Amino acid sequence: MSKGYFGEFGGQFVAELLIPPLKELEDALENIVPSEAFQKEFSDYLKNYVGRESPLTHCPTLSTDLGFNLYLKREDLNHTGSHKINNVLGQALLAKHMGKKALLTETGAGMNGVATATAARALDMDCIVFMGAVDVERQSHNVRRMKLLGATVVPVEAGSKTLKDAINEALRFWIKKQATHHYCFGTAAGPHPFPTLVREFQSVVGKEARKQIIERTGALPHSVIACVGGGSNAIGIFSGFVDDCSVNLIGVEAAGTGEEGCTNSAPLCLGTAGILHGQKTMLLQDADGQIMPSHSIAGGLDYPGVGPEHAHLHHCGRAEYVKVNDMQTLHAFKALTRAEGIMPALESSHAVAYVLENKDKFPKGCNVIVNLSGRGDKDMDIVEQYTELFD
Amino acid sequence: MSKGYFGEFGGQFVAELLIPPLKELEDALENIVPSEAFQKEFSDYLKNYVGRESPLTHCPTLSTDLGFNLYLKREDLNHTGSHKINNVLGQALLAKHMGKKALLTETGAGMNGVATATAARALDMDCIVFMGAVDVERQSHNVRRMKLLGATVVPVEAGSKTLKDAINEALRFWIKKQATHHYCFGTAAGPHPFPTLVREFQSVVGKEARKQIIERTGALPHSVIACVGGGSNAIGIFSGFVDDCSVNLIGVEAAGTGEEGCTNSAPLCLGTAGILHGQKTMLLQDADGQIMPSHSIAGGLDYPGVGPEHAHLHHCGRAEYVKVNDMQTLHAFKALTRAEGIMPALESSHAVAYVLENKDKFPKGCNVIVNLSGRGDKDMDIVEQYTELFD
Amino acid sequence: MTSLTTRINTAVQAGRKAIIPFLTAGFPTKNDFFTHLEELDSNGADIIEIGVPFSDPAADGPVVEAASLKALEQGVTLQWIVEELTKRKGQYQAELVLMGYINPFYQYGFEKFAKDAADAGVSGLIVPDLPLDESGEFKKILKQHGIALISLIGLNTPKKRMQEYADNAEGYVYVVSYMGTTGAAVAFPPELKKTLTEAREVFNIPLALGFGIKEPKQLEPFGDAIDAVVFGSALITDIEEKGTAVPFMERWK
Amino acid sequence: MTSLTTRINTAVQAGRKAIIPFLTAGFPTKNDFFTHLEELDSNGADIIEIGVPFSDPAADGPVVEAASLKALEQGVTLQWIVEELTKRKGQYQAELVLMGYINPFYQYGFEKFAKDAADAGVSGLIVPDLPLDESGEFKKILKQHGIALISLIGLNTPKKRMQEYADNAEGYVYVVSYMGTTGAAVAFPPELKKTLTEAREVFNIPLALGFGIKEPKQLEPFGDAIDAVVFGSALITDIEEKGTAVPFMERWK
Ligand SMILES: Cc1ncc(COP(=O)(O)O)c(C=O)c1O
Ligand SMILES: Cc1ncc(COP(=O)(O)O)c(C=O)c1O
């Protein structure tokens, strides 16, 4: 029973009809991914297409305010504007090696959809993206990008019409099309082997960050902080430091509007263990096991579950999980934009906000890395609704 | 008379009141820029803040179609999404060394404005951006980005209300505020020393590209191609190859709608020599020396003049200047997006279009570099008006 | 041999397929559901699969999904289902099977559920998102309470894997007729015959064919290759139109 | 000594400042322009600066810019100006100076322009975007045709640079009264006095103060430090309001 498990979390809770494609993928993860040829091809893409390595940027102005050194791992500078491309390019390449002709995926805020549509073009594959109808509406900018990239975007009208429903629909579609399509799961969640596969492809973030901070400061950082939606950017950077016991790993969940009992996206902080989308993990659910709607100002965090490895790191205490609300996030968005000229995605702004709101928790002079998972251009419409912040 | 001249082009045709700040800047260019301390600081910013070096991406799908190898120099992956940041960070840093407290600039499409507003935040300076009222209207996305970055955006209601008028207004403002403000000129044009200064800061593009193509192919490229508005991205990449006589340098101007006599932005191909904005160069003007309005679907190319060094390279034949029209540009935008998953700025799409439209001019199997000066996210509203292209 | 197996065998011995209608609990309303359950029971159902509604039914098509969400809106919970069945224990001729996603059972508690369900007269359970590899613990508990965990297999299930299922299979085997979700198929794919043949070789319990079944003539090509038939989406659609389950059941008489 | 210098010296010797109005050619219409030119000439102008309109007047404030664009809309060109002045040669008592940006002169051709302008009775030229370093060639040509290229200096012009201008200065020196564009100042900055003192030391031709001048009392603080006064924006605004240049000129009598 331990295959695909992280402690008690993980597994492969899917329809029997999906077992064969998942097994095919497990095989590919074991046999293709570690091969020298694949690794070379993947790192060529990361370097020459995505633009890696991404820099580690010191924030002089905020650091002065905070009394310790804030460094940003700049995933916002990747091609397509977030860390998502690391994973989808890895998966697309793997799919190609597996003989698949097309990619299918789900998307919430649209970043994974854009990244997947892009990887499909880079590797000359077809692409279909499932997206909750509500998200299609509120993330029209990214829908348009996907369409320009030639992807088919399918609005999902079922359930809450958001990410979780898009995943349901993608799983359904995959049952039908498993022969030709690879399901390019967008975050380090879902049934085994996705959490492992996605971590594998995102681990470049942690490897680079570790090397960079040591080069720059001569030492390991005090803390590494990342926002957690499904958990891919967080697991990517954490994986570089998880064996360094001295390094605090802090995952920041979305508290939504923040008042007691509000709709949120913080299953580790506020949820309970359960089973959804093929995995045993922490979930937002009612006492009957029905999944509750989630909310965050950051579309990419708006998911009632979380990758099982985070559930495990939480459970065993290796990483700490905290939450930040919408207004704190907006303030952090503004603070970073104004202090350093870097407009963070609202997802990433959660991680920044945790640092700004909790500066007393970090010793003077220490070095802290925040994973800046994406850029904020996509969020301008949302941010500008809060005009009182920007005058 | 040869100070600040490139052959017969260049010079310093400005009000006497602007001579002192220009001399101050000449001094800084001579004494501060070459210093080891400045160079180190500048390259730290380029590496750790901008994310350089930018990759050189091979385009497998288009290369197969074309019969030769198309490489893209990925300035679109820079922080803020174009090559503009290289120049403005250099100038902002220089201004800081000169003791200035604030940056002023002009912008057409808004990219230079966004980049300058960003550099101002990175270096903790104030920023004021002049922008033609027409451009404020049609580039609202970038206006919003500048405002989020805390810059003051001043709509210019004079003249044609576009870039050339914004430059006039910026020059006027600079007369008043020269003691405290550095005019962060946005392209390799204007009065001496701007064309030289901007080339200096953009030359990193050419240096990297030369090193990269030799590493990748073992040889110099057949041709290097860049779009030309004011000419900064082009001069940046050309400068790396100008001494390599075998390398064809091709600058692509904007032909506008393209029919005989249409409003365009191609002063090298279609203009005459004249004097504007402090420089003798090629201009779009009538027989009486009045400057004509320009047009291009790419806001960043929409300028009736061009940097004087291009006028010189054109005159002496070292570089070839060609033109591409709006529809060819849109087709190239689509072709690159669909073939490689890279959405180019409409400016950069001009350079891509030249290659696609003239493939017979390049020998089979040769290597061609296009400077991908910026990303196309900003242009989605425009591109989508041509729905017939995207179905 | 469980009561489910016995029931199907009896039908087969009588020269017919066992009839297994599926209906979402609490659909279309809490009250009407029991009316329809009654109708199914008294109009030829050998086994009735009662759907436990779930917010995220990733293996179901639109009809069952909509029924599921409608039931949830009316406050249907697994606890309510168990309680109501307990009240009515012994009223039904047909064997009762619950079909639902794993999470509600997990939240209820496997042990407690198995006990309560057995007390309510439930003899089988189908969990579409609990494949072999994850089913061990729950299956053991269910068995202790005499509840069969039904195996689902599909066109892409290799014979070797069928064998793994077969080692512990109970009740009947649910053969999914095509690669998709409930309610969709217009024609069965040619591979279905091979799957049924292999399944017959591997399993020594009855085979029930489900997904996309509307009418008896769809089954003609299969002859003895199947022992039972499951229909859900088509039944639900018919009930929605006519307000009664009787006419749909008539088709199978 | 050019006629421009003489003219100003004569005024100074008469105990007053020489009066130099500026008016954009062809403003407000081609015809009315000549009416106003006439008014200026017969109401005390010693020298008249005629603005050559340019599409991109980067050293001008909004009033002159608007006048310039309006003139352009009406088809005013440098050629038209030269032709019309040639027709009227000898009609004006005041000396005539053209003021305009370099590009229109460049397109006209420096040599041809100098000849035609001299034939039209123009005795001076002011080119705001032609600083010392760029003026060599044109200045030489103009001089050959007896036209003075007027030097402009400002509050930030170092004495050393004034000296460089002085080596070849002709006509008068146009001292810009503040750091800005035409028409803006409300009060002159304190540094102006120093600039005027230095200019007086360096130049041996008259000093004219321009930019932001509306009325005689603005000049009181400067006493003998200036020899002439230039006004443009204020005059244009007054003409626009009243339809005549006379009242504005009356102020200076
Ligand atoms: C910029 C950005 N950061 C973070 C996330 C959250 O995903 P994950 O938790 O998998 O990193 C998203 C998802 O769209 C995103 O776009
Ligand atoms: C992406 C991009 N490319 C090119 C240009 C044209 O400028 P230049 O000719 O100075 O490179 C611009 C100007 O805004 C731009 O944004």
Distances (CA, A) of A95 to A79, A112, A123, A230: 20, 16, 10, 22
Q: 3-state SS of chain A: helix, strand, coil percent to 5?
A: 45, 20, 35
In chain D, where the domains are located: 3-10+18-250
Give the per-residue pLDDT at D130: 98
Is the CB of B84 inside 8 Å of chain A's CB atoms?
no
pLDDT tens-digit profile, chain A (391 residues): 478 999 999 999 999 999 999 999 999 999 999 999 999 999 999 999 999 999 999 999 999 999 999 999 999 999 999 999 999 999 999 999 999 999 999 999 899 999 999 999 999 999 999 999 999 998 888 999 999 999 999 999 988 899 999 999 999 999 999 999 999 999 999 999 999 999 999 999 999 999 999 999 999 999 999 999 999 999 999 999 999 999 999 999 999 999 999 999 999 999 999 999 999 999 999 999 999 999 999 999 999 999 999 999 999 999 999 999 999 999 999 999 999 999 999 999 999 999 999 999 999 999 999 999 999 999 998 998 998 887 6
List strands edge to edge, sheet with A126-132.
Answer: A152-156, A126-132, A102-107, A181-183
Range with lowest mean pLDDT among A153-157, A260-264, B139-143, C95-99: B139-143
The whole-angstrom distance between B21's CA and the closest CA on chain D is 9
pLDDT averages per 10-residue partition of chain D, 253 residues: 94 97 97 98 98 96 95 97 98 98 98 98 98 96 98 98 96 96 86 97 98 94 96 96 97 92
Contact indicator for A135, A378 with CB cutoff of 8 Å: no
What pLDDT, in 10s, does the model give residues B293-333? 999 999 999 999 999 999 999 999 999 999 999 999 999 99
Residue A374 near residue A300 (C-beta atoms within 8 A): yes
**Optimal mutation site among A1, A3, A16, interface C, most CBs of chain C within 10 A:** A16
Nearest residue (CA) to ligand 1, atom 13? A300
- Yes or no: say if A114 and A146 are a contact pair by the CB < 8 Å rule: yes
ipTM over 0.90? The verdict is yes
pTM of the model: 0.96
Question: Least CB-CB distance to C131: which of A12, A165, A171?
Answer: A12
Q: Are A282 and A271 in contact (CB under 8 A)?
A: yes
Q: With CB atoms and an 8 Å threshold, state whether D61 touches B178.
A: no
Instruction: Note whether B141 contacts A: Cβ–Cβ < 8 A.
Output: yes
Q: Which residue ranges have their beta carbon within 6 Å of ligand 2?
A: B 82, 84, 108-109, 111-112, 187, 227-234, 300-301, 345, 347-348, 373-374
Q: Which of A79, A83, A331, A366 is catalytic?
A: A83
Q: Of the candidates D57, D59, D131, which has its C-beta nearest B12's C-beta?
A: D131
Domains and CATH numbers, chain B: 5-46+83-194 (3.40.50.1100), 50-81+203-390 (3.40.50.1100)
Residues of D with a known catalytic role: 49, 60
Report which residue type is found at D80. Answer: W
Cα B242 to Cα B317: distance, rounded to the nearest angstrom: 12
Cα dihedral D83/D84/D90/D96 (nearest 10): -90
* pLDDT number for residue C199: 98
Give me the residue from A12, A19, A159 closest to C56, CB to CB. A159
Q: Inter-chain contact B340–A47, Cβ cutoff 8 Å?
A: no
Considering every ligand atom, which ligand is closest to the CA of B166? 2
Mutation pick for ligand 1 pocket among A72, A79, A84, A370 (CB with most ligand atoms within 8 Å): A84
Residues of chain C contacting residue A22, judged by C-beta atoms under 8 Å apart = none
Alpha carbon nearest to ligand 2 atom 15, residue: B300
Q: Do C61 and A176 touch (CB under 8 A)?
A: no
Residues with CB under 6 A from ligand 1: A 82, 84, 108-109, 111-112, 187, 227-234, 300-301, 345, 347-348, 373-374
The predicted pLDDT at position B138 comes to: 83
Residue C56 Cα, gap to closest chain A Cα (Å): 7
Residue in C39, C41, C46, C49 annotated catalytic: C49
Q: What is the dihedral sign for C-alpha C188, C189, C192, C194?
A: positive
Q: Which residue of A has its CA nearest to C154?
A: A17
**DSSP string covering A341-388, please?**
S--B-HHHHHHHHHHHHTGGGS-TT-EEEEEE-BBSGGGHHHHTT-GG
Which pLDDT score is estimated for C240? 96
Q: Is domain C3-10+18-250 in CATH 3.30.420.340, yes or no?
A: no
pLDDT(B1) > 60: no
Q: How far from D245 is each of D27, D210, D240, CA to CA, in Å? A: 12, 18, 9
**What is d(CA B247, CA B213) in angstroms, rounded to the nearest whole number?**
12
The mean of the pLDDT values for chain B is 96
What residues of C are in contact with residue A303 (Cβ under 8 Å)?
none
Question: Whose alpha carbon is nearest atom 14 of ligand 1?
Answer: A300
**Which residues are within 8 A (CB) of A20 and not within 5 positions of it... i.e. 6 or more apart?**
A178, C156, C157, C158
Burial of B130 (0-12, 13-18, 19+ CB in 10 A): buried
pLDDT of amino acid D242: 97
Give the distance from CA B161 to its chain's centroid.
20
From the list A182, A188, A97, A106, the residue with the least C-alpha distance to A139 is: A106
From D54, D129, D176, residue closest to B290, measured CB to CB: D54
Q: Which residues of C touch A164 (CB under 8 A)?
A: 56
- Asked if B127 is an active-site residue, the reply is no
B16 closest CB neighbour out of D57, D102, D157:
D157
Condensed to tens digits (0 to 9), the pLDDT of residues D52-86 reads: 999 999 999 999 999 999 999 999 999 999 999 99
pLDDT tens digits, C18-69:
999 999 999 999 999 999 999 999 999 999 999 999 999 999 999 999 999 9
Ligand 2 centroid distance, CA of B297 (Å): 13
pLDDT of residue A103: 98
**Cα(B35)–Cα(B28) distance, rounded to whole angstroms?**
10
Torsions phi, psi for D114 (to 5 deg): -60, -45
Minimum-distance ligand 1 atom for the alpha carbon of A299: 14
Q: Do A289 and C107 touch (CB under 8 A)?
A: yes
Q: What is the DSSP letter of A256?
A: T
Q: Ligand 1 centre and the CA of A198: distance in Å?
A: 13
Output DSSP code: residue A103.
E
Q: Which of D75, D59, D86, D91 is nearest to D25 (CA)?
A: D75
Residues 6+ apart with CB under 8 A from C146: C2, C118, C123
With bands split at pLDDT 50, 70 and 90, how would you rate the model's confidence at C187? confident
Chains with 3 or more CB pairs under 8 A to chain A: B, C
CA distance D59 to D181: 5
Specify burial of residue B38 (Cβ count, 10 A radius: 0-12, 13-18, 19+): middle
What is the SS3 assignment for chain B?
CCCCEECCEEEEECCHHHHHHHHHHHHHHHHCCCCHHHHHHHHHHHHHHHCCCCCEEECHHHHHHHCCEEEEEEHHHCCCCECHHHHHHHHHHHHHHCCCCEEEEEECCCHHHHHHHHHHHHCCCEEEEEEEHHHHHHCHHHHHHHHHCCCEEEEECCCCCCHHHHHHHHHHHHHHHCCCEEECCCCCCCCCCHHHHHHHHHHHHHHHHHHHHHHHHCCCCCEEEEECCCCHHHHHHHCCCCCCCCCEEEEEEECCCCCCCCCCECHHHHCEEEEECEEEEEECECCCCCECCCCCCCHHHCCCCCCHHHHHHHHHCCEEEEEECHHHHHHHHHHHHHHHCCCECHHHHHHHHHHHHCHHHCCCCCEEEEEECEECHHHHHHHCCCHHHCC
Report the C-alpha gap between A352 and A344 in whole angstroms: 9
Amino acid at A194: F
**What residues of A are in the C interface, CB distance below 8 Å?**
1, 3, 11-17, 19-20, 158-159, 164-165, 167-168, 171-172, 175-176, 178, 274-278, 283, 285, 287-291
pLDDT tens digits along A313-368: 999 999 999 999 999 999 999 999 999 999 999 999 999 999 999 999 999 999 99
Atom of ligand 2 nearest to the CA of B187: 10
Chain A residues whose CB is inside 8 A of the B119 CB are: 341
Contact criterion met (CB < 8 Å) for A51 and B58: no
